[in-house]
Structure 1
Amino acid sequence: MKSSVFFLSFVFAAASPSFSAAELKTVDDFRSAAAKANAVLTIPNWEQSPKAVEAMMNGAIAKANKGLDQIGSQDLKAVTFKNTVVALDDLTYQAGLAANKAVIIKETNTNPEMRAAGENTIKIFQDWAVSIDYREDVYKAIKAFADTHPKLSGEDEKLLNETLRDYRRAGLDLPPDQRKEVEQLRKELSKLGTDFDTNIVKANAPVIFTKADLDGLPESFFASPGVRTGDDAYTVLANVTWQFNTVEENAKNEATRKQLYVIRDTLAKEANVPVLNQMLALRNKIALRLGYKSWDDYQTEVKMAKTGANAGKYISDLVTGIQPKFESEVAELQKLKAADTNDPNAKIEVWDWRYYANQRDKQKYAVDKEALRAFFPFQNVLDGMFNIYQSIFGLKFEKIAASYKWIDDLQLFMVTDSATGEPLGMFYLDMFPREGKFNHFAQFEIIGGKLLPDGKYQRPTVALLCNFSPPTADKPSLMTHQEVETLFHEFGHALHSIVTRAKYGRFAGTHVPGDFIEAPSQMLQNWVWEKKVLDTFAADYRDPSKKIPAEIIKKMNDESFSQLIRARPSFHISAT
């Protein structure tokens, strides 16, 4: 959309109105409209103690097991689509709601004991989720229905086919002893995956630098909360993305860039290298036991790529196609480093590319990323994004009161159809970093969309967990243009979830093939490269009458189109 030939002229620059807590509506104010649309709105009851979290999960699994027993114990001559395949989707959906809450608790709660309880219950759920694939009684009931060769279509047909595919991929066709082995391997792999993620989130990597070490960084960085920790001591958290990026893009000292990069790149290394090795071995065993050539083939079967060979060819072709441009760009950055260091043989290391790409942008395109922050105060960006997406999709976002907040600045919004007033779902915003919180940017499903057994539609509730630079005593949170793009991208995932009309939880919202899931958000994020769009919200926070000049936006686009190095940041650049 960077070269789009149209623009939605009905996007307004006006900021969304603010409301005091006393003026905010609650979810109850929307229930009547939801009822007219035959829909259900739900805000979870959030457990407040580790014991309550454990009890929540145990209760959800016990209830689901009763449902499994009902499916598996029925007369195989009386099986129907509803009492087998749909019943399985219903019960796994309901149990999954408990798992979704446990994930949010694990990733956001300020109490370490609650986060640990969330992690433990996720492992319990994952173990159970694997085990239900091996309920032979349930499988026999579903297989008995499939053997009637029902005439299904659309989502119904897709649900049956993919459910049968799940059983095949779980190894239900294998002899009992081999099937049991695969089950145990899958359970172990699930636990290790959770351990791997938890180790990264727990990794707290403070690195202390002097002011001289951080020469080149903007003064606003030093004024950020928690950065200055002594007379000439500045603590940078390698695990906090915005701090890492600011140092890597601006620090003149290569030793500083290298030290921080290596620490971030090896977060939780001691704990996770053994875990990763175990995971790789387990993946290979599972794939081979199930008759696949490799884990690649096992994973891609359910994606658009279909085979590991197809995925590998796509990547290989992509690398081959961009390699000349990539090498040209690296050579350009090498010239800058050679001039900077007076070393004609200087090589661009992996900790160098952000810094020299930033210097190149300043010199060649006159684009100063730090200076541009002034045009992107967080609240203005958020309000502007809301206006754009409301206009594009015919929606209305309204802040409502949250009955429970896991952090004081948490916000909750209701999404409605702007034409009919039909409530479509809700989203939480948790935007700034803190200790123990998920340290990247992502959307998390809390309650997925689904047609319920009583015929009503459960509207979704999701959360956006981000880690933008927080406000300071004298400045609002100021975003880089890349962070603005990230916000537009992640909110795209939230909308993908919320506007769903899928019949079954399995297909609702972002429950799509893994190599498609990013496509909607990748398209939506491109709005932030259009001047007409940026003019609706990007303004200097010190003087809102000042917009980003057209020539700067053109240079930003030229700079973006010109570089491929961001597509290969994990490559050892000096080896090219």
Structure 2
Amino acid sequence: MEREEDDRQSHRGINGGSNKKMVIVFTGAAALLAVALNFAFNAFKSFKHRRETKDLAGSIVRVNLSGNEIRKLADRIIEESKAVHDAVASVHVDKVKYQDIMMLAELEARQFPLVQSCVFPRLVSTSEDVRQASAEAEQKINLYIGSCRKREDVYRVVKAFAAREEWINADTKSYVQSLVRDFEQNGLNLTSTKKEEVQRLLAQIDELSMQYVQNINNDCTFLLFTESELEGLPSELIQVFDRDNDEKIKVTLKSNHVLPILELCKVGATRRRIAVGYGQRCKEVNVPVLETLVQLRHKFARLLGYDNYAEFAVGSRMAKTSAKVFEFLEDLSTSLTDLAAKELAGLKELKLKEEGSNLFGIEDLLYYVKKFEEDRFHLDFRALKDYFPLSLVLQGIFKILQDLFGLKFEEIVSAEVWHEDVRVFSVFDLGTSYLMGYAYLDLFFRDGKYGQTCVLPLQNGSLSTNADRQVPVVLLMCEFLIEDGNTPALLRFSEVVSLFHEFGHVVHALCNRASLARFSGLRVDHDFVEIPGHVFENWCFESSILKLISGYYQDVTRPIKDDVCNSLRKWRYSFSALKLRQEILYCLFDQIIHSTDNVDFLELFKFLHPKVMLGLPILEGTNPASCFPHSAIGYEASCYSRIWSKVFAADIFASKFHDGGLNHHIGMQFRNKVLAPGGAKDPLECLLDFIGREPSIQAYIDSLAYSSV
């Protein structure tokens, strides 16, 4: 049986392999079921509305640069940037004007697409030389940008302007304050001794963070099993594993080996052994590294005037304070207690029936969740894949975006691209024909391409001093398998959900109308940036939408059946209370160690685990702190953010799009009130304006209860 991704709302996402390129230009918000059949008949045809051009008007993004061109462009970027920073630094602090500071804003808007032109080839190019040049350029530019944020001469000028509070508008105020924050996070407002200490701490933190992650990546530990000990795994998976001289199966402690065993293996002792081994990775080396890292982060935060690192990390986010994060996590955990207990009781009963024991451990969670779902929902995800041809799903998304948000996608068939599979679309406002921006779609697997699904802004929208608007340009990348000669590219359902999520980011980038590039594209609050993607995911669980985007690949007039739509909706949240409490456990650990001194990591886990996981103890001999990379690099003190965005997105959908339909009026309100303001406006104010109140956790709790066991 094909293993469906455990994360029901992961990010993914289009058929670039065919020579028949398509654009959807439906109008109005007609009832979906009424148009579904006619829509499906046209699924694989070409469309009339195309624009043939090599250049994208308003875009200065450069594609297909050679390695040498990338290196030269990187040098020119740094040279121009240095000239502008020098010019700002030369202004006397008593004479600094708005126009002087705006030189930096104009520089950002002008250079961002050029920087991205240097950087994104590392992710997509088929040329090893180009990828290498792009990686070198990225490192060189990043080092230079870091040095700019340490320039005391520029800081003095910006700080002098900020002190006068002569704001032209709210965006200018936000921009100048963000500049000041960048400088002061490098210690430029401190004494020379403390500033040097900040720089030393930042260097140590970077080094140790990379060491922690590298230790995990380099771990080559494996365990040996007989075939009988791996009962339940499909033969094709067994064949993937290496063998030792005694023909025992070698299972590494990498997630791509561990997770299938935890989910599919019938032997409880094997699941436990694998889970313990997975939790013991790098225990001897990484626990002391993380302990040192946390101490250094606290020192760094206190030099900048914060009580602890959590307050520093959360202070610029929607949550604002660590106390608010704790309140959010604890309220959510408490609200889920009864449902999670009911879920756990159901799993224990299953284990008792299958293994004759109800001594349920955390290592049993994935296996019995999957078994319960198979018994209850009867969803064959391998067969379901045949109902989601990529081109049909993409057309459905275009129609939804048009009906909801008034966005019309038109393909540019002769645009310059870096690979023949890449497709480019102009995106227009349906009502005014105003050009909103451009979207590149590079969605098929190929050697050398970045192996994760993501949305990357290539050019941020902005408004110049002479009121000319620079349009946004965005790239969506996925790793779908290309079609063979006779079969179209087909999506797993998790990939359908992911494609919807990523188009939420595409729409956000295109509809962001911030006047300054720093607050445009996806440059918004980190607690807020995932919310549009999570909101948009909801539609692919609505029956009318599922019928619109599905059709058997040999006869696309046959969408999935009503009972399958029903099962998918319930499956979406099955056992989510128990899984979410497990996620909350790690978020609490992350927040506690970054808000408290001298925490014993193992003792903290031993206390939290049974408390949050309803009596289930931590696995003996493990210390999750040894292999918890989100606390080591990138997400320290902010692991909660993923849950935060999912919960508030559920509230938005339930309160405003509750019927699951494509309400154009509400969609345009969402576009104008939530997506358009960009990063210059407090996202909580945007949500208050749209919902009419502060966001709540209740809608998410209610959605989980819908799939109660």
Partner of 1:54: 71
Partner of 1:44: 62
Q: Among residues 18, 41, 52, which one is paired with 1:25 in the alignment?
A: 52
Partner of 1:446: 458
Q: Answer with 394-403 or 421-430: which moved more.
A: 394-403
Partner of 1:379: 391
CA–CA distance in structure 1, aligned partners of residues 73 and 388 of structure 2 = 41
Q: Answer with 553-562 or 482-491: which moved more.
A: 553-562
- For residue 575 of structure 1, give the secondary structure of its aligned residue in structure 2: coil
Q: In the superposition, relative to structure 1, how do residues 234 and 18 fare at CA in structure 2: closer, same or farther (>3 Å)?
A: farther
CA–CA distance in structure 1, aligned partners of residues 100 and 492 of structure 2 = 52
Give TM-score, length-normalised by structure 1.
Answer: 0.80
CA–CA distance in structure 1, aligned partners of residues 359 and 95 of structure 2 = 75
Deviation, 1:191, is 7.3
Q: Answer with 354-363 or 278-287: which moved more.
A: 278-287
Q: Among residues 356, 368, 375, which one is paired with 2:380 in the alignment?
A: 368
- Is there any run of 5+ residues in structure 2 with no aligned partner, and where? 1-27, 586-608, 619-709
CA–CA distance in structure 2, aligned partners of residues 266 and 113 of structure 1 = 39
- For residue 336 of structure 2, give the secondary structure of its aligned residue in structure 1: helix
CA–CA distance in structure 2, aligned partners of residues 519 and 24 of structure 1 = 32
Instruction: Note the alpha carbon deviations across 1:54-109, whole angstroms, 9 max, x for none.
Output: 3332321221111000111023343211211x222222444443443444233333
Partner of 2:548: 536
CA–CA distance in structure 2, aligned partners of residues 470 and 253 of structure 1 = 36
Instruction: Note the alpha carbon deviations across 1:94-131, whole angstroms, 9 max, x for none.
Output: 44434434442333334455444433433333332232
- For residue 429 of structure 1, give the secondary structure of its aligned residue in structure 2: strand
CA–CA distance in structure 2, aligned partners of residues 402 and 192 of structure 1 = 47
CA–CA distance in structure 1, aligned partners of residues 91 and 494 of structure 2 = 56
1:9 is the counterpart of 2:30: yes
1:82 is the counterpart of 2:99: yes
Contact 1:123 1:190 in 2 (8 A): no
How many residues end up aligned between the 2 structures?
A: 549
CA–CA distance in structure 1, aligned partners of residues 292 and 136 of structure 2 = 20
Q: Answer with 526-535 or 254-263: which moved more.
A: 254-263
Contact 2:198 2:303 in 1 (8 A): yes
Q: Among residues 133, 140, 145, which one is paired with 2:149 in the alignment?
A: 133
CA–CA distance in structure 1, aligned partners of residues 235 and 558 of structure 2 = 21
- For residue 517 of structure 1, give the secondary structure of its aligned residue in structure 2: coil
Q: Answer with 167-176 or 252-261: which moved more.
A: 252-261
Partner of 1:71: 88
Partner of 1:460: 472
Deviation, 1:255, is 8.3
Deviation, 1:256, is 8.5
Contact 1:449 1:459 in 2 (8 A): yes
Deviation, 1:355, is 4.0
1:575 is the counterpart of 2:617: yes
CA–CA distance in structure 1, aligned partners of residues 118 and 348 of structure 2 = 47
Deviation, 1:322, is 1.7
Deviation, 1:461, is 1.4
Instruction: Note the alpha carbon deviations across 1:298-317, whole angstroms, 9 max, x for none.
Output: 11111111122222332232
Partner of 1:301: 315
CA–CA distance in structure 2, aligned partners of residues 265 and 486 of structure 1 = 28
Q: How does 1:102-251 map to 2 (within 5 A)?
A: 102-112=118-128, 114-186=130-202, 189=205
Instruction: Note the alpha carbon deviations across 1:389-442, whole angstroms, 9 max, x for none.
Output: 122111121232465544442222221223333222222223244555433322
Q: How does 1:404-443 map to 2 (within 5 A)?
A: 405-443=417-455
Q: In the superposition, relative to structure 1, how do residues 337 and 477 fare at CA in structure 2: closer, same or farther (>3 Å)?
A: farther
Q: In the superposition, relative to structure 1, how do residues 432 and 118 fare at CA in structure 2: closer, same or farther (>3 Å)?
A: same
Contact 2:62 2:114 in 1 (8 A): no
- For residue 409 of structure 2, give the secondary structure of its aligned residue in structure 1: strand
Deviation, 1:272, is 8.7
Q: In the superposition, relative to structure 1, how do residues 385 and 258 fare at CA in structure 2: closer, same or farther (>3 Å)?
A: farther
Q: In the superposition, relative to structure 1, how do residues 528 and 61 fare at CA in structure 2: closer, same or farther (>3 Å)?
A: same
One-letter amino acid of the counterpart of residue 9, structure 1:
A
1:320 is the counterpart of 2:362: no
Contact 1:217 1:246 in 2 (8 A): no
Contact 2:427 2:438 in 1 (8 A): yes
Deviation, 1:16, is 5.8
1:344 is the counterpart of 2:386: no
Instruction: Note the alpha carbon deviations across 1:29-71, whole angstroms, 9 max, x for none.
Output: x63xxxxxxxx2333244322x543333232122111100011
Deviation, 1:561, is 4.1
CA–CA distance in structure 2, aligned partners of residues 258 and 407 of structure 1 = 46
Contact 1:201 1:437 in 2 (8 A): no
CA–CA distance in structure 1, aligned partners of residues 413 and 383 of structure 2 = 36
Q: Answer with 51-60 or 466-475: which moved more.
A: 466-475
Q: Answer with 471-480 or 160-169: which moved more.
A: 471-480
CA–CA distance in structure 2, aligned partners of residues 52 and 274 of structure 1 = 44
Instruction: Note the alpha carbon deviations across 1:182-217, whole angstroms, 9 max, x for none.
Output: 235446656777888899999999999999969565
CA–CA distance in structure 1, aligned partners of residues 494 and 466 of structure 2 = 45
Instruction: Note the alpha carbon deviations across 1:154-182, whole angstroms, 9 max, x for none.
Output: 22222233333333333222102322332
Deviation, 1:489, is 0.8
Q: Among residues 520, 523, 526, which one is paired with 1:514 in the alignment?
A: 526
CA–CA distance in structure 1, aligned partners of residues 488 and 249 of structure 2 = 21
Partner of 1:400: 412
CA–CA distance in structure 2, aligned partners of residues 77 and 568 of structure 1 = 55
Q: In the superposition, relative to structure 1, how do residues 397 and 16 fare at CA in structure 2: closer, same or farther (>3 Å)?
A: farther
Q: In the superposition, relative to structure 1, how do residues 264 and 533 fare at CA in structure 2: closer, same or farther (>3 Å)?
A: farther
CA–CA distance in structure 2, aligned partners of residues 95 and 190 of structure 1 = 26
Identity, % of aligned positions:
27
Q: Among residues 297, 310, 326, which one is paired with 1:283 in the alignment?
A: 297
Contact 2:43 2:395 in 1 (8 A): yes
One-letter amino acid of the counterpart of residue 30, structure 2:
S
- For residue 542 of structure 1, give the secondary structure of its aligned residue in structure 2: coil
Partner of 2:9: none
CA–CA distance in structure 1, aligned partners of residues 298 and 466 of structure 2 = 43
Q: In the superposition, relative to structure 1, how do residues 317 and 133 fare at CA in structure 2: closer, same or farther (>3 Å)?
A: same
Deviation, 1:490, is 1.1
- Is there any run of 5+ residues in structure 1 with no aligned partner, and where? 1-6, 32-39
Contact 1:442 1:464 in 2 (8 A): yes
1:478 is the counterpart of 2:490: yes
Contact 1:528 1:534 in 2 (8 A): yes
Output the aligned Cα RMSD.
4.3
